[in-house]
Amino acid sequence: MKKKKGMILSLTVASSILLAAGCSSSTGGSSDAGKEKEGLPAVGATIYKFDDNFMSYVRRAMEDTAKGKVNLMLNDSQNDQAKQIEQIDTLIAKGAKSLAINLVDPKAAQTVVDKAKTKNIPVIFFNKEPDESVLKGYDKAYYVGTTSSESGVIQGELIAKAWEANKDKWDKNGDGKIQYVLLKGEPGHPDAEARTKFAVDTIKEKGIQVEELALDTAMWDATKATEKMDAWISKYNDTIEFVIANNDGMALGAIASLEKAGYFSGDKFMPVVGVDAIPEALEMIEKDKMVGTVLNDAKNQGKATIELATNAANGKDVLEGTEWKLDDKKAVRVPYVEITKENIQVGKDAYK
Ligand code: GAL
Ligand code: CA
């Protein structure tokens, strides 16, 4: 009986999230009035924008983990930092006992901490890592995410291995170097910066020479990536030998562009790699349109975020009863995993 009531309530929450996401009101989407539900403590949360492929999976894991444990008040910050700050003010006013914040701009972390600190409210930042000094400056501030550089290293290793095995075909001009184009995520985002640097550095460390034909941001976005790739194909045409994308969304956008230009039919091929291992990218790997990707474990990051925020809201040690560990920066770091056709099931399991 009790369970049923919980389910009806969470359906109400889900439908109000949908309603809120649909209407772009000036304050952005807020999933609920924030009243204490069945005695559950309130956790106030923001996602930088709901319209981000990877974050939609993190969000789902957060909602699943929150069910029956906390009253999750989840906001779509619509990629607007000022809007997010207003949402945080509202969440605090509504009685949030802890905050789970996916910043729009990583530089806004101190402002968020300043607000939480005055009310002694714990803050779990997730996905966009704030500066170390911000976490150090507030004993109730934590981070849940990854080690950004690790995804770049793994992607670089994947590229080097695939290149070594296929260079007879892939080194089109036979100069021994990889002529690549790189689709970067949001500039200033720790993941985008680290993936860009460490992917290329790792290829070089493996003894493979590279030549950058083009590098530009497509803001993690498939449509923007298609536009960039269209322009690069018309400018560089067949001299491009590799497409490196900071995430799968942009890799998929590049593939759409490559398909228009006749790639992936007959023997016209282009190696493409990404990061995240979202289901659409795994499909591309299975169809041999993507060489591989790097699993960014949305499910465990969403789960860890809510588990820490739940403990914090209940006044407990954030790690109590969880499988997570904090490093010396007060961060929980979920590992990245290389994904190719051989271990594709690992990616599928993480996103099911
Ligand atoms: C990254 C992810 C990207 C994008 C970004 C948003 O970790 O790989 O696809 O979702 O976070 O901050
Ligand atoms: Ca070459």
Q: Report pLDDT digits (tens) over 169-179.
A: 999 999 999 99
Structural contact between residues 41 and 312, judged by C-beta atoms closer than 8 angstroms: no
267 CA distance to ligand 2 middle (Å): 17
Per-residue pLDDT at 37: 58
pTM score, whole prediction: 0.89
Residue 216: which H helix or E strand, with range? strand 209-217
* Angle (nearest 5°) at CA 314 between 313 and 318: 75
Structural contact between residues 183 and 251, judged by C-beta atoms closer than 8 angstroms: yes
CATH architecture of the domain with range 21-146+297-335 = 3-Layer(aba) Sandwich (3.40)
Stretch(es) of the chain classified as CATH 3.40.50.2300:
21-146+297-335, 149-295
Per-residue pLDDT at 39: 86
Per-residue pLDDT at 212: 98
156 CA distance to ligand 2 middle (Å): 17
Tell me which of 195, 296, 339 to substitute to probe ligand 1's pocket, judged by most ligand atoms within 8 Å of the beta carbon: 296
**CATH numeric code, 149-295:** 3.40.50.2300
171 CA distance to ligand 2 middle (Å): 4
Per-residue pLDDT at 11: 40
Would you put residue 214 in left (φ > 0), alpha (ψ -120 to 50) or beta? beta
Low-confidence ranges of the chain (pLDDT < 70): 1-38
